[in-house]
Amino acid sequence: ISYVLGHSNNNKLVFRTLDQAITILKEDEHPLIHSDRGYQYTTHGFMRKIEKANMIHSMSRVGKCIDNGPMESFWGTLKCEKYYL
């Protein structure tokens, strides 16, 4: 839906990306947003934005880093296809 590039993965970058995605959503769309358990994605502000936009938040379980494997594989493939070829 959206992406924003930056030098560090901080709250400003994450919120800009999420805000950009929310602005293009149609009223009947409720997309899934997957994240790791980084501090940016567990803040009350981030959770409120997702809830207000009726998005579904997917996050790996505490102590179960293997849950995130499929998404890391997806991002690795995307980077390979889009940037490195």
Give the predicted TM-score (pTM) of the model: 0.67
How high is the mean pLDDT in each 10-residue block of the chain (85 residues)? 86 93 91 84 93 88 70 78 64
Domain-wise residue ranges, the chain: 11-84
* CATH 3.30.420.10 describes domain 11-84: yes
pLDDT score at 64:
65
Give the model's pLDDT for residue 83. 66
pLDDT at position 79, please?
77
CB of 46 closer than 8 Å to CB of 16: no
Handedness of CA 5, 7, 12, 18 (dihedral sign): positive
Which residue in 12, 71, 75 sits closest to 43, CA to CA?
12
